[in-house]
Amino acid sequence: MINENIENLYIHIPFCRTRCPYCDFFSVKFNENYPFKKLLLKEIVLYNEKGYLKNIKNIYFGGGTPSVYESNFYAEIISSIGDAFNEVSIEINPEDGKNIDFLLLKSAGITRISLGIQTFNEDALKILGRNYSKDQIINTIERIRSNFENISFDRLIGIPFDSIKQLENDIELYLKYQPTHLSLYILTLNPTQERLITNRPDDDMVAELYKYAMKRLENKEFEHYEISNFAKNNKYCQYNVDVWNKNNYIGMGPGGVSTIENKRITNTASLKEYENLLNNNELPIRSSDILNNEDELFEYIMLGLRTKWGINTKKIKDNLNWDKIAEFKENGLIKHNNATLFLTDKGFLYYNYIVTAII
C-alpha cells in the first residue's frame, strides 16, 4: 500500500514577522489570531484517518519562520503525529532566539536545529532584511548549544559586500560553535530583487566564494554530500536526503507540497481557503497532478545529481546523452563509476547546464 511507504513529513509554517526581499518561499505577515494550530491539527487528523502518517520517520518544520511560534506549539503538533522519529528538524530565525525555550523545544521532540544566520556582517544583514545583530546570533547559538548537539547553520553566498575575507570570517566563527551541518546557498534573485539587493559581487567572484567554501569545509572534515550542504559524522538532514532520493513525502500547511509515488499534490496558499476546507473536514488541496515518465526522469536526474550519491545510469541508459557525458567526464565535471554518475566539486558549479545537457 502507498501509505506504507511514506516516511517523511514537511510542515510549512507560512508566517514571518517581516518578509526578506530575496525570499521566494510562500509567506505572509504573522497573525497570532489566525487559528493555525487548530487547523494544522485538523489536517493531521485527516491524514491520520487515511493511514498516511503511521510510518513517518522524519519531520521538517520549515517556512516562513517556524520560530514565530512558542515551543509548546510544537509539543502538541509532534505528539499528534507520533512518538518515535529518526529526526525532527526545525528552522530558527536568530531574531526569535531570545524568546525560545530550547529545553522545552527539545522535550517536545525536536532533535535538530537549523539556524538561519546567513552572515555575521550587519551591513549585509540590513540590506537582506534580516532584523538581528551579530550579538543576537551569538546569543542564540549559545542557547541552542546548551540543549542540542545536532545543529545546522545557513550561510548565503553572493550577499552584499561578500568577499573571500568576509566568507572566511563567517566560516571561522561558524566553526567555533561546532555545528554538525552547514548549508551554503548561492543567492539567486529575480530582476525586481536584484534592484533591492545592492552591493553584490559579480558571478565570477560568487564562483570563487563557492570554491573557497568547499575547500575550507572539506579541510575541516565536513563531507560535501549535496550541492549546498556539508555534514560532519554523517549528520545529514534526513528529510532532505529522502526527498533528493525521490522517496515519498507529505507536505502540510498552506502552500505545502506532497509527492506520493507519481502524484504531486499542492495545498492551497490562501489562508482563508485553507481554513474553510479544513473546517469542512476536507484536505486543503489546491491541485493534484500526475508526473509523466518525462517528468519522473528529469526529477530523478535533477535531484540525484545534487548529491554525492548521484544517479544509477543502468536503469536510464537509453535516455542519456552519452556524448555529453563523455565530454563532461573528460573535463573533470563528472565521474562515472560502476553505473553511478555523480558530479565533482568542479561540476557542481555547472550543475544547471549539466542536468539539461545529459538528457
Last residue of a domain, one of 242, 277, 308: 242
Which backbone phi and psi does 252 adopt, to 5 degrees? Answer: -115, 170
Same domain, 80 and 159: yes
Nearest alpha carbon to residue 132 among 105, 97, 160, 177: 97
Count up the domains in the chain and report the number: 2
Q: Are residues 151 and 182 in contact, defined by beta-carbon separation less than 8 angstroms?
A: no
Residue 248, pLDDT score: 97
Same domain? 159 vs 222? yes
The answer to whether 351 touches 311, Cβ cutoff 8 Å, is: no
**pTM for the full model?**
0.96
Please give the Cα distance from 79 to 77 (Å, whole number).
Answer: 6
Please check whether residues 215 and 340 belong to one and the same domain.
no
Could you tell me if 237 and 304 lie in one domain?
A: no
Amino acid (1-letter code) at residue 169: N
At 265 the pLDDT is 98
Q: What is the domain extent for residue 148? A: 2-242
Domain identity same for 205 and 316: no
What was the pLDDT predicted at 298? 97
Q: Report how far residue 190's alpha carbon sits from residue 117's, in angstroms, rounded to the nearest whole number.
A: 22
Are 223 and 299 in a shared domain?
no
Q: Do 238 and 353 share a domain, yes or no?
A: no
What is the pLDDT at residue 3?
A: 62
In angstroms, the CA 229 to CA 214 distance is 10
Q: Give me the DSSP letters along 322-357.
A: HHHHHHHHHTTSEEEETTEEEE-HHHHTTHHHHHHH
Report d(CA 242, CA 249) in Å as an integer: 8
Same domain, 160 and 307: no
Look at residue 153 and tell me if it is in a domain: yes
Residues 351 and 221 grouped into a single domain: no
Angle at 88 between CA 90 and CA 280, to 5 degrees: 80
Domain boundary among 210, 242, 274: 242
Q: What is the CATH number of the domain that holds 348?
A: 1.10.10.10
Contact 336, 325 (CB under 8 A): yes
Does residue 257 sit within a domain? no
The C-alpha cell at 229 is 550542504
Last residue of a domain, one of 220, 242, 264: 242
Both 46 and 187 in one domain: the answer is yes
Which residues does the chain have with pLDDT short of 50? 1
Residue 73 lies in a domain: yes
Condensed to tens digits (0 to 9), the pLDDT of residues 275-294 reads 999 999 999 999 999 999 99
Residues 299, 191 share a domain: no
- Bridge pairing between strands 28-29 and 15-16: parallel
Is residue 189 packed enough to be buried (19+ CB in 10 Å), middle (13-18) or exposed (0-12)? middle
Cell 568576509 appears where? 166
Q: What is the pLDDT of residues 321-355, one digit of tens each?
A: 999 999 999 999 999 999 999 999 999 999 999 99
